[in-house]
Amino acid sequence: MSLFFIGYRYRWSFLFLSLWIITVFCLSDQPADSKYTATIQSENIQTQLIATHINNSKITANVRKTVLENGLTVLTKEVHTAPVISVQMWYKVGSRYEAPGTNGIAHQLEHMMFKGTKNRPVQFARLFSALGSDSNAFTSYDQTAYYSTVEREKLNALLVLEADRMQNSLIEPEQLATEKRVVISELQGYENSPEYRLNRAVMQALFPNHAYGLPVGGNKADVEKFQVEQVREYYRKFYTPDNAVLVIVGDFQTSKTLETVKEIFGKLPKRQEAGDRRQETGGRRQEAEVNSLLLSTQQRQLLQVGGAAQRTGSSALSTQHSALSTPLILREQGAASMLQVVYPLPNLHHPDIPALEVLDYILTEGRNSRLYQALVESGLASEVTASVSSLQEAGWYELLVTADDHQDLKKIEKILNRAIANLIQKGVKPEELTRAKMQVEAGVILSNRDITSQAMQLANDEITAGDYRYTDSYLAAVSQVTGADIVNVAKKYLQPETRVVGLFQPTEQNTTETGKKLNLNQTTENLSATATPLAISEIDKYLPPLEETTDIVKKSLPRRKSKKILLWRYQSNLV
């Protein structure tokens, strides 16, 4: 291939690279002798080029939404880049629907959904494996999801399996006893993480009267007490077509596939009471709780210094405030000291959410971020992580700082507070704002480059936001965020009076820690660990028939290597 042809073929890439280099020289706010300059530039080339090149693309391009007569919502999106499809079934129920005494039942039911059905009394993990499918599931606050990615000719087989276990799952005493032991083992594994134990304590203090304060996976005491009829009732109530979203993304034809979906799922009966009353009452309670957490400083001072009669009348708020104003201290076995700070936020529909996401990137994303410079570069901390969680009924901003050896957590907290106060007082630089917005947009785009992630994004938006187009509007709002918006949301939400602070102080080294990062917002499964080996002939008789899909449009695209950035902080659960 001639050099001229190579140059012509990649002319746009060279143009974007040239523009990026010019931008670096013009906008860089780092000293020329910084040891991180070269690394930062290299890491940001792909991110900035992608954001510049496709920041106008829509995640929802070619998406079609169909609602069957029985209430099942179906989202389809044709993507003909490879002969594969992702089929995902998401249910509008998660740990948010639980209370003390039933904490973990959504997670427990998720495990039971792999134990087989009346028609197929065989572990579904074996059936998915026989189809060559990457399949798994997770439970989160607002939803429970089951997902499979497989060759396109096996689409119908996956649909049949999902329809079967929506209505006919086996929930028997022996199976429940087995899976309760598996769930308890998972919870004990989580307990090995000091980060998990600290987060559990902080979240319980932040949401003392709401299920968002409960651990998503449950707790051992509640799981041990689950009864068969209790889990069956939960299954009958929530695993219904009118409480589910089916997403299909990949190499298929929409019209033909929708006919198949209607044939397979349309006959499933609609059950009415899928938790609507719980959603309504939970929403009102959570709105009141968030408003309480976001009381102004003046109101809180009034509660603290007011007369006896006033304190008596506001006892609930005063108690809640005392829990928030006093740092939680965990002195337990662990590897390193940690500081966790969590601020309450409104739900994902609030117009401040895009600015809060950009603020997070300015504070914590990359070596140029403010908290990295203040804490890691200074040698006080070994790591700073953060996330904005935006859910149906509320949200929170979580900062976690892992202290370097022999560093004082109080000093780290003081430096963190000073960095936030400095941002509020002096604002943000234009180049900081531009870089952060570009990183947010690029993160969304890069996290949706494979069909499994695209399907997850659509389903998450449809359930959590009530609209599969949410990410498009979110990106549009991010592009409009100003420096004044960043200061306003920092001043409004990052108040010391509203947050919960947790300190983890290790009493001795924990030699059993793996150091693996946990996704604290959802469960992580290992289905192969409990799947009983079966003969191929036994598996084959329960597999749905496969269909030829020769009418699919085939397109040949160049292969590219990509780095995946997960906006919604999903972990890969495939086994």
Q: Is the pLDDT of residue 314 over 50?
A: no
3-state secondary structure of 496: coil
3-state secondary structure of 574: coil
Least confident of 36-45, 403-412, 564-573: 564-573
pLDDT (0 to 100) of residue 308: 30
Largest CA distance in the chain: 87
pLDDT (0 to 100) of residue 272: 63
Look up residue 140 and give its DSSP letter: B
d(CA 184, CA 484): 48
pLDDT (0 to 100) of residue 526: 66
Q: Are 353 and 407 in contact (CB under 8 A)?
A: no
What b/e readout covers 109-147, taking b as 16+ CB neighbours within 10 angstroms?
bbbbbbbbbeebebbbbbbbbbbebbbbbbbbbbbbbbb
d(CA 260, CA 551): 15
Q: Is the pLDDT of residue 1 over 90?
A: no
More confident residue, 142 or 50: 142
pLDDT (0 to 100) of residue 49: 39
**Highest mean pLDDT (candidates 21-30, 263-272, 340-349, 566-575):** 340-349
pLDDT (0 to 100) of residue 540: 77
More confident residue, 324 or 502: 502
pLDDT digit string (tens) for 505-518? 999 765 555 455 66
pLDDT digit string (tens) for 28-76? 344 333 333 333 343 443 444 333 434 445 789 999 999 999 999 999 9
More confident residue, 541 or 127: 127
pLDDT (0 to 100) of residue 337: 97
pLDDT (0 to 100) of residue 40: 34
Strand partners, 76: 64, 248
Query: How confident is the prediction for the chain on average, in pLDDT?
Result: 80
pLDDT (0 to 100) of residue 518: 63
pLDDT (0 to 100) of residue 510: 58
Q: What is the mean pLDDT of residues 299-323?
A: 31
Look up residue 10 and give its DSSP letter: T
pLDDT (0 to 100) of residue 502: 97
d(CA 375, CA 104): 37
pLDDT (0 to 100) of residue 384: 97
Residue 145 pLDDT class (50, 70, 90 cuts): very high
Least confident of 104-113, 345-354, 526-535: 526-535
Residue 248 pLDDT class (50, 70, 90 cuts): very high
pLDDT (0 to 100) of residue 512: 52
pLDDT (0 to 100) of residue 509: 65
